[in-house]
Amino acid sequence: MHMEEGSYYRTALLKRLRDNGCGLQENQILSVFSYNLDKNGSAADGIAILTETEFILWEGTAEREAHALSSIQKFVYRPEVGSVAVECIWKESEEPYVFCRGSMDRQKLFGLLVNKYNLFLEKGIYRQEGENASERVCPVCGTPFQPGNSICLNCVNKKKLLGRLWDILRPHKAKLIWSSLLFIGVLLIGLINPYINKILVDSYINNPEIGAAIASDRGRVFISFLLVVLLMLAAYILNFIISIIRNLLMMQVGAKVIVHLRMMVFDKVQELSLSGISKKTTGELMNRVVNDTQEVQNFINSQVPNVL
């Protein structure tokens, strides 16, 4: 039995094919994988199928295209900017032909399967050794997990994640509220500046009567012009000061949150069994404690006040 047949990945994709009207029997399919970009790089929800005689692309409820393996010289895995592609070289032509593309989280899976498909073309052997990459996928939607992760970002409960984030931020809600109010203040000051510029341009720079006003009362015109300039300068200074205060508040919140997060992760690592720790490298553990918590801090500093 193929390793894929015993995996959630294969089972989920075969079910999608059946539900969408594909008439292939399970024992006819050697390999199956999902892709999320079509040959032109547009978003797609497709499934690629390898049988003993054909390579088939299925999108939605219809077969998009099918090619006889006898016409294919070799499969090609091609990394691109922001995506990866599965291509082929035809026996009748040396021009590459793009079957499908996928986001970068599929690069390991695509590369592995292309090598296996070429072995099948050359020797008629389809080996399942080393196909653990197909096990590292979401059992619901078939999306490959991120390296070192077992949570699907497409299927995870977003409300639950936001609830956990709020539990961490709750002790700092006063500073978060102040930061949000200061952010609103920055936006309001940003709306005042164009109005001051309008006064400066309409009343002084492009005002055809400004010459007569200066001739009649130079001191009064100069003082009013100076007040407008000072008002503009004050708005810029106030905006700068408010931004500094807001950034300081968020830096304080971020620093306290990252200490709390790292303690949580460190305590969790200590609770792991010896066998659980031995399955992970030192770099993976350090990445969890240092880099992952740093990403959360960056999100809190840059995005949370804007969301609030």
Rounded average pLDDT over 191-220: 76
**Same domain? 187 vs 269:** yes
Is 270 found in the same domain as 181?
yes
Q: Cα(283)–Cα(290) distance, rounded to whole angstroms? A: 10
Domain co-membership, 168 together with 133: no
Residue that finishes a domain, picked among 133, 156, 179: 156
What's the predicted TM-score (pTM) here? 0.45
Does the CA dihedral 206-212-215-217 come out positive or negative?
A: negative
The yes-or-no verdict on residue 289 having pLDDT over 90 is: no
Residues 16 and 56 in one domain: yes
Q: In this predicted model, what pLDDT tens digit does every residue of 214-232 receive, in sequence order? A: 667 777 777 888 888 898 8
Q: In sequence order, what are the residues at sequence separation of 6 or more whose Cβ sits closer than 8 angstroms to the Cβ of residue 261?
A: 168, 293, 296, 297
What is the arithmetic mean of pLDDT over 83-111? 90
**306 has a pLDDT exceeding 70:** no
**H-state helical runs in the chain:** 8-19, 107-123, 158-169, 173-200, 210-216, 218-271, 274-278, 282-286, 293-302, 304-307
Q: Which of helix, strand or coil describes residue 63?
A: strand
* Better-predicted residue by pLDDT, 4 or 90: 90
pLDDT band at 141 (very low <50, low <70, confident <90, very high): low
In this prediction, residue 5 has a pLDDT band, given cuts at 50, 70 and 90, of very low
Each residue's pLDDT tens digit, 130-140: 444 444 666 66
CA distance 58 to 36: 12
Q: What is the pLDDT of residue 71?
A: 93
One domain for residues 201 and 253 = yes
149 shares a domain with 93: yes
CA atoms of 85 and 100, how far apart (whole Å): 6
Whether pLDDT at 49 is above 90? yes
Q: What is the CATH number of the domain that holds 197?
A: 1.20.1560.10
Is 173 in the same domain as 234? yes
At residue 87, the pLDDT reads 94
Residue 212: strand, helix, or coil: helix
Pairing of strands 83-90, 72-79: antiparallel
Q: Would you say residue 108 has pLDDT above 80?
A: yes
pLDDT at position 2 is: 37
Percent of the chain with pLDDT over 90: 19
CA distance 5 to 26: 9
Give the end of a domain, one of 101, 125, 156.
156
DSSP conformation letters of 83-120: EEEEEEEESS--SEEEEEEEEGGGHHHHHHHHHHHHHH
- Buried b / exposed e across 127-147, counting CB within 10 Å, b at 16+? ebeebebbbbbbeeebbbbee
Predicted pLDDT at 94: 79
What is the mean predicted confidence (pLDDT) over 297-303? 74
Q: What is the mean pLDDT of residues 279-305?
A: 73
Mean pLDDT of the chain: 81
Q: How confident is the model at residue 284 (pLDDT cuts 50, 70, 90)?
A: low
Confidence label for 102 from pLDDT (cuts 50, 70 and 90): very high
Residue-range definition of the domain harbouring residue 106? 3-156
Are 37 and 147 found together in one domain? yes
Asked if 142 and 12 touch (Cβ cutoff 8 Å), the reply is yes
pLDDT given at position 251 = 85
CATH of the domain at 92: 2.30.29.30
Q: Rg of the Cα trace of the chain? A: 30
Report which of 136, 242, 147 is spatially closest to residue 186, judged by C-alpha positions.
242
Is the confidence at residue 4, as pLDDT, over 60? no
For residue 3, what pLDDT is reported?
38
> Is residue 100 pLDDT above 70, yes or no?
yes
Closest CA to 88 of 73, 68, 104: 73
Distance in angstroms (rounded) separating the CA atoms of residues 20 and 16: 6
